[in-house]
Amino acid sequence: MWAKRSPQQEQTAKKTTQRSEETISDRSGEHVRLRVFRYDPDVEDKREPRFDEFVVPFEQGMTVLDALIYARDTFDPSLTFRHSCRQAICGSDAFFINGRQRLGCRTQIEGLTEPIQVEPLPHQEVLKDLVVDMEHFYDQMKAVDPYFQTEQKPDDALEEQRQRPENREKIKMSTRCIWCGACTSSCNIASGGNYLGPAAINKSYRFLMDEREGEDRKQQRLETMEEEVGVWRCQTQFSCTEVCPKDIPLTQHIQELKREAVKTSLKFW
If pLDDT is split at 50, 70 and 90, which confidence band does 231 have? very high
Which range is least confidently modeled, 21-25, 86-90, 126-130, 165-169?
A: 21-25
Give mean pLDDT, residues 194-213.
95
Range of the domain at 231: 135-149+165-265
In a domain, 174, yes or no: yes
24-52 pLDDT per residue, tens: 335 556 999 999 999 999 999 899 999 99
Predicted confidence at residue 23, as pLDDT, reads: 40
Contact criterion met (CB below 8 Å) for 35 and 115: yes
Predicted confidence at residue 249, as pLDDT, reads: 97
In a domain, 192, yes or no: yes
In a domain, 158, yes or no: no
Q: Is the pLDDT at 80 greater than 50, yes or no?
A: yes
Average pLDDT value for the chain: 88
Q: What percent of the chain has pLDDT over 90?
A: 77
Q: Check which CATH number belongs to the domain holding 83 and give it.
A: 3.10.20.30
The residue type of 55 is V
If pLDDT is split at 50, 70 and 90, which confidence band does 7 have? very low
- Buried b / exposed e across 27-53, counting CB within 10 Å, b at 16+? beeeebebbbbbbbeeeeebeeeeeee
In a domain, 8, yes or no: no
| 37 plus 139 within the same structural domain | no
Give mean pLDDT, residues 133-146.
94
164-190 pLDDT per residue, tens: 999 999 999 999 999 999 999 999 999
Predicted confidence at residue 6, as pLDDT, reads: 46
Contact criterion met (CB below 8 Å) for 181 and 91: yes
Maximum distance among all alpha carbons in the chain? 75
Predicted confidence at residue 192, as pLDDT, reads: 73
Predicted confidence at residue 191, as pLDDT, reads: 83
Angle (CA) 181 187 191, round 5°? 90
Q: Check which CATH number belongs to the domain holding 169 and give it.
A: 1.10.1060.10
Prediction pTM value: 0.84
| 223 plus 181 within the same structural domain | yes
Predicted confidence at residue 26, as pLDDT, reads: 52
Q: What percent of the chain has pLDDT over 70?
A: 88
Predicted confidence at residue 138, as pLDDT, reads: 96
| 143 plus 238 within the same structural domain | yes
Q: Is the pLDDT at 16 greater than 70, yes or no?
A: no
Q: Is the pLDDT at 9 greater than 60, yes or no?
A: no
| 140 plus 243 within the same structural domain | yes
Number of domains in the chain: 2
CB-based burial of residue 239 (10 Å sphere; 0-12 exposed, 13-18 middle, 19+ buried)? buried
**DSSP secondary structure string, 236-261?**
---HHHHH-TT---HHHHHHHHHHHH
| 144 plus 115 within the same structural domain | no
| 127 plus 141 within the same structural domain | no
